[in-house]
Copies of this chain bind each other. A is one copy, B any other.
Amino acid sequence: MGQNGRIRNAALLAKVTSAEHAASLIASGSTVGMSGFTGSGYPKAVPLALARRIEAARERGTPFRVCVWTGASTGPELDGALARADGISLRLPYNSDPVARERINRGEMDYADLHLSQVAPMAWQGFLGELDTAVIEISGIRPDGSLVPSSSVGNNKTWLDRARQVILEVNRWQSAALEGMHDIYYGTALPPHRVPIPLLRPEDRIGEPTFRCDPDKIVAIVETDSPDRNLPFAAPDDVARSIAGHLLEFLRHEVARGRLPDSLLPIQSGVGNVANAVLSGLLHGPFEGLTAYTEVIQDGMLDLLAAGKLRVASATAFSLSPAAATRLNAEMALFRDRMILRPQEISNHPEVVRRLGCIAMNGLIEADIYGNVNSTHVMGSRIQNGIGGSGDFARNAFLSIFLTPSTAKGGTISAIVPQVSHVDHIAQDVHVLVTEQGLADLRGLSPKQRADLILARCAHPDYRPLLEDYYARARRGAYGLHAPSLPGEALSWHQRFMEQGSMRPAGNRS
C-alpha cells in the first residue's frame, strides 16, 4: 500500500485499498461522477472492477446499473467496460466509446448530450439529482491533503464538491511534473451570487493548482500505473491539407484587412486529421505569438509550443498520441509553464469565450445549403459522439469556422445536403464553412446569399448539380422564399442513403 510514492498525506495513505473494494462501495441505482475528458485522466481500475461486479450481479440474476457522469469522453476501461456489462442506465454529458455508442443507438442506454460548459452548473442547480460517488483520477496527494489533478480537469472539482463519497485513483503513470500546471477556479456560484469570471487573457491564472476535498468524504484510494487512452495521431491527408490551406489563406486575408490581429485571437480547435492539418499549417505559417483557449491540447499544439509559435495553451485536458504523450511526460518541465488545464466550466465558459474572441474551429457531419450544421446525428437519429463544447465555442466565437471534407464514406455521403437531418449549430452560429473545395464566408448574409456561396465554394462537384437542382426548384415552389425549402424532399437524400447506401440517385452513380 502506498507504493507509488504519490500520496504524501499519512491519513489518506491509510485509505489505500484495492479497486475491487472501492467498486464494492458503489451501489446499484446510484449516480457516479467520474473523471475523464477526451480519453485523458479517467479512472482506469475502479470502473473495470465495477464492470466485473455488475457482470457478477447479472449472473446472479440481480440487475445492476448506474448513472455515469463525466467530463467528456473516457477510455475503454470506463465507458467500454461499463457499456459492455450493460451497467449504465443514463450517461452524460458526452460519449465517443464505440461499445457505448452501439448500446445507445440500439436504444438500450439513455444518453443526455449536453453543452460541456453547462454540466457543472447543472449539477449545482440540482435537477440532475444527487451525486452519490465521485471516482476521480489524480496524479498525487500533497501533504496538506489537496489533490494534484491528472491529465484532465473536466468536472472533477464539481464532482468532488457534490459527491457524498469520493474514490480516488492515484496514477503514477501521469508525470509528477503536472503539479502546478492546473488552475482550479473556486469562484463559481449559483445565481444570484455569480460574479464576473476574472479571466482576461488565455494565460491568466485565476485559481489554485490543486483540488480541495473533504478528507472525511474519501472512502477509498486506489493506486494505478496505467496510460491514458492516447489515440494515434491522425495524419493529415490531401483533403485535410486542402481544407487547412483554404482556412489559412482566409486568416491571412482577415489580418490583411485589419479584421484580426497579427497574432490572431485565441484558437479553439477540435481533434482529428483536419484539425491536425490546420495546426500543422499554423506551424509553417506567418502568424507568431499565437494563443489557444480550447478544450484539449493535442499533438499539433505541442509542436506549436515547442516551435515558439504558440505562446500559451489553455484547455481542460490533453488529447495526445502515444508518442506525444511520451514526449510530454519526458519534457513536462519545458512545456508546463506554457500550458494551463482548467475546469471545463471555465475552459468552455461562454463569458470567457466571447470576451477573448476565440477563433473556433470545429468539424461536422453535414451542413445544409443555408449553413445549418449537424455535428452529432448520422441520418438524423444515430448519435455519433455529442455536441461537446462546440456549442459553447461556436455561439460565442469571434469567428466560428466549421471544417469538413465535402463527402464521406467513399463519396456515398455528401457533407452538403438540402437540409440537415438534425441541427446542432444554427446558421447564425456558422460564420465560415470550409471543405477541400473551398471556403464560404457567410457572415452577415441572407439565407439565399449563403446558399449561393456554399453551393459554389463548398459542395463536391458530384453533388453540386443535384443541390443546384433542388435549390432552383425550391426557389420556385417553396412556401416562402426567404429560405426556400421543399419539406417533401428536403430529407430525401438521407432516406436514399438509408435505403440504397448512397445519397446519389441510382442513375447518377459512377
Contacts and interface: CB of A to CB of B under 8 A. Distances in A.
Given A191-B398, A354-B350, A480 B378 contact: yes
A92 B444 contact: yes
A486 to B, nearest CB: 8
Given A378-B479, A421-B487, A110 B449 contact: yes
Nearest to A445: B112
A313 to B, nearest CB: 16
A491 to B, nearest CB: 4
Interface string A476-510: 00111111110110111011001000000000000
Interface stretch (A3-11, A72-80, A267-275, A423-431): A423-431
Given A90-B446, A395-B395, A483-B381, A355 B191 contact: yes
A474 B126 contact: no
Contacts of A127: 259, 441, 443-444
A110 B448 CA distance: 8
A105 interface: yes
Contacts of A483: 377, 380-381, 383, 422
Interface in A366-394: 372, 377-383, 387, 391
A201 interface: yes
A258 interface: yes
B449 A128 contact: no
Given A354-B351, A426-B391, A426-B423, A122 B444 contact: yes
A382 B486 CA distance: 11
Q: Main secondary structure on chain A at its contact with chain B?
A: loop
Nearest to A355: B194
Given A381-B484, A443-B122, A482-B111, A356 B259 contact: no
A377 B195 contact: no
Interface of A: 90, 92, 104-107, 110-115, 118, 122, 125-129, 190-192, 194-198, 200-201, 257-259, 261, 265, 350-351, 354-357, 372, 377-383, 387, 391, 395-396, 398, 419, 421-424, 426, 428, 441, 443-446, 448-449, 474-475, 478-485, 487-488, 490-492, 494-495, 498
A450 to B, nearest CB: 9
Given A448-B110, A491-B487, A104 B428 contact: no
6 closest cross-chain pairs (CB), A and B: A382-B480, A191-B357, A107-B481, A196-B196, A423-B423, A110-B446
A45 B487 CA distance: 42
